[in-house]
Amino acid sequence: MKNQQNARHDAHDTLMCYSMHTLFFIQLPLHAMKQYKDMLLQQLQFVDQEWSRFHESNELACINQQMIGQTRTISPLLYACLQQAHTYYVQTAGAFSPYLKQAMCTHGYNQTFPFTKATVTQQTLPIQQTPFIFLPSYRLQRVGIGEIDLGGFAKGFIIERLAMYLQQNGVTEGMIDGGGDIRVWSSGQKTWKLAVANPYDQHKPPLTTITLQNGAVATSNRIYRSWHQGDVVKHHLLDGRTGEVCQSDIIQATVVTARLTDAEVATKLCFLQQPLPFTTKVATYIVKAKQQAQWQLKGAQL
Amino acid sequence: MKLSKKIKWGTGLTGVALSALMINEIQDATPIDATLSEREQEILQLDWTNFEVTIDDEKPAERQTRRT
């Protein structure tokens, strides 16, 4: 994590820092920022170090190196994150999967962005299976092959946790933005206005804007994190059931829900054209090539 | 018990209690609980009455999604 920066904005303070290869932007009331700035930085630094699949000796790497039959006690926060990701894995019948590290590497995503070309490998995609079971007392047992890549889910999880913690401790309003995946809350005084970026060019005017007081917005895009592996264009959105790159005419999916982890998983399911099983209140904004996008609202009365 | 011993005992207990409080505060600073309380569930309820798609609004947005 690097480059932390503070700036005052109205009656709020803002904090910017890098974690998980992403720019985080946090906006809180002045007094809350003063009180929680250090905790926020520590937490983001911790997950940056311990949860990345690109580090060879962190806690996630140790889990991935477990042998079949071996049990390991892991940190409670990572256990909670993995367990929640696994719950989505079960709820979506494997369409969303946190166990795609080997498939990602086979497709050439074995380095951090930005990159445009990946070497062609002779590896075949591993058969997707459930590699771990969750035991009491934060223990994880390997029962099959497969390695964890939390990807954007880790970001959504930690943002959700931090937002929840701040709310529970009386911080009346705030925004945590991890690379465009945004969680906002308000006690009613503050209404947040958020824009959905143009998928082709961030500097062009946004496609649409929304206002909300409490909620989460996540966006996935198959153009930005894409690369050539030989003559084949690949991107980072994989089908958890097969490990194959998702084939879709969707360019960008934006989802608004109550929880950022729901929104994060929902964007992947939009690309896979799978139903969203975990909430009845969802707004989606799907951008397809040469089509006018529109908000689709489910469970809402507007 | 002599007064001086009572004071020492009392001071010791207070010290233990304060240490425990501090440890609790530090632990509380780390959001690690996996389960959601009723209060958390309540907080999570998205207030759809305040969700609006804004059209022809001149006011700039506070944040923008990114191409993740």
ipTM of the complex: 0.74
Q: What is the mean pLDDT of residues A68-80?
A: 97
Q: What are the residues whose beta carbons fall under 8 Å from the beta carbon of A88, sequence distance 6 or more?
A: A96, A153, A261, A265, A278
Q: Do B30 and A180 touch (CB under 8 A)?
A: no
* Residue B19 lies inside a defined structural domain of this protein: yes
Measured N-to-C along each axis, helices A260-271 and A152-168 cross at an angle, to the nearest 10 degrees, of: 150
Q: What are phi and psi of B9, to 5 degrees?
A: -60, -45
| pLDDT tens digits for range B15-67 | 444 444 433 443 343 443 445 556 555 555 555 556 677 665 678 888 988 76
Give me the residue from B29, B49, B53 closest to A210, CB to CB.
Answer: B53
How many separate domains does chain A show?
1
A59: domain CATH number is 3.10.520.10
Q: Do A195 and B63 touch (CB under 8 A)?
A: yes
* Residue B45 lies inside a defined structural domain of this protein: yes
| pLDDT tens digits for range A141-188 | 999 999 999 989 999 999 999 999 999 999 999 999 999 899 999 998
Q: Do A256 and B51 touch (CB under 8 A)?
A: yes
Using CA coordinates, name the residue in chain A closest to B59.
Answer: A193
Range of the structural domain that residue A113 is part of: 1-302
Q: A238 has which bridge partners?
A: A245
Q: Which residues from B are below 8 Å from A192, CB to CB?
A: 62-63
pLDDT computed for residue A279 by the predictor: 59
Whole-angstrom Cα distance, residue B24 to residue A259?
27
Range of the structural domain that residue B25 is part of: 3-50
* Residue B61 lies inside a defined structural domain of this protein: no
Residue A153 region by backbone torsions, left for phi larger than 0, else alpha for psi between -120 and 50, else beta: alpha
pLDDT(A58) > 50:
yes
* Residue B20 lies inside a defined structural domain of this protein: yes
* Residue B62 lies inside a defined structural domain of this protein: no
Using CA coordinates, name the residue in chain A closest to B50.
Answer: A212
Using CA coordinates, name the residue in chain B closest to A44.
Answer: B30
Q: What is the mean pLDDT of residues A216-229?
A: 88
How many separate domains does chain B show?
1
Q: Do A181 and B68 touch (CB under 8 A)?
A: yes
Whole-angstrom Cα distance, residue A218 to residue B26?
31
pLDDT(A302) > 90:
no
Give me the residue from B34, B40, B46 closest to A79, CB to CB.
Answer: B34
Q: Which residues from A are below 8 Å from B32, CB to CB?
A: 75-77, 80
Give me the residue from B46, B48, B64 closest to A195, CB to CB.
Answer: B64
Q: Which residues from A are below 8 Å from B34, CB to CB?
A: 76, 79-80, 83-84
Whole-angstrom Cα distance, residue A182 to residue B64?
9
Establish whether the linkage from the previous residue to A206 is cis, with ω within 30° of 0.
Answer: no
* Residue B59 lies inside a defined structural domain of this protein: no
Q: Choose from A36, A164, A251, A285 for mutation: most chain B CBs within 10 A.
A: A164
- The pTM of this model reads 0.82
C-beta separation of A187 from A141 below 8 A: no
- Å from A157 to nearest chain B CA? 11
Sequence letter at residue A297:
L
Cβ atoms within 10 A of the Cβ of A72, count? 16
Q: Do A210 and B67 touch (CB under 8 A)?
A: no
